[in-house]
Amino acid sequence: MRAGELLMVSAIFSLDHTRKSVGAVEGDRCPVEKYIVATDTPQNLTSPGFPGNYIRPSACKWFIESDIQDGIIKFKVIKFELEGSPSCYRDYLDVRDGPWRLSPRLLGWCGVKPPGKTFKTSGKSATVLFQAVTHGQDKPGFHIQYWQAKNDVLPDAKAKYTVANFILGGIFGVILLVILVTLLFLVIIRNLRYTRERHLQHIRIYS
């Protein structure tokens, strides 16, 4: 093979290798917003570039939802190591109990945390937010697992609670009705006595 052809082949291989490397990095970037349907089997959610250092800058959002009736989303922390900062204003992972950024917070972490923590939503959906600022320390990021499950609060338990409230409300209503009827009866009796006494006084005066 001639030197010129060898140089061209080397250049093409090098360019192809570079494209593949760039493509791998771009593929690791987390989505601006991604919708995920949870399954019964634990699935993985990681910072961009994991298990290597996470990519800067990053602003990622995952919306996770259960597709079963009375379903919830459960989470487990496998690894967590972000750059720490006061009030986690630089790099952070934020998990919300619902479909909105301002839904109640389940977890708001930065820095280094031990693995094994579990938590869950109260409803069918969760919003996961990850931010990494442009410049900062190199850290491996996070690895959490998520899956769907039936809500621990069973529907029949909710129904019993509702029926109990209904029964108590009915009893209270009956008692209140009896009191009102009794008061009305006493008022009527008093008016009848007053009318009778006035009538008797009138008879005495004119007899």
Instruction: Please write the tens of the pLDDT for every residue from 3-43.
Output: 444 444 344 333 343 333 322 234 467 888 999 999 999 99
Residue 64 has a pLDDT of: 98
Q: Which two structure tokens, joined as six digits, stand for 28?
A: 């690791």
Residue 201 has a pLDDT of: 72
Residues of the chain with pLDDT under 70: 1-28, 153-164, 202, 204-207
Residue 89 has a pLDDT of: 95
Q: Are 36 and 8 in contact (CB under 8 A)?
A: no
Residue 84 has a pLDDT of: 96
Q: Are 139 and 81 in contact (CB under 8 A)?
A: yes
The Cα 10–Cα 3 span in angstroms is 10
Residue 167 has a pLDDT of: 80
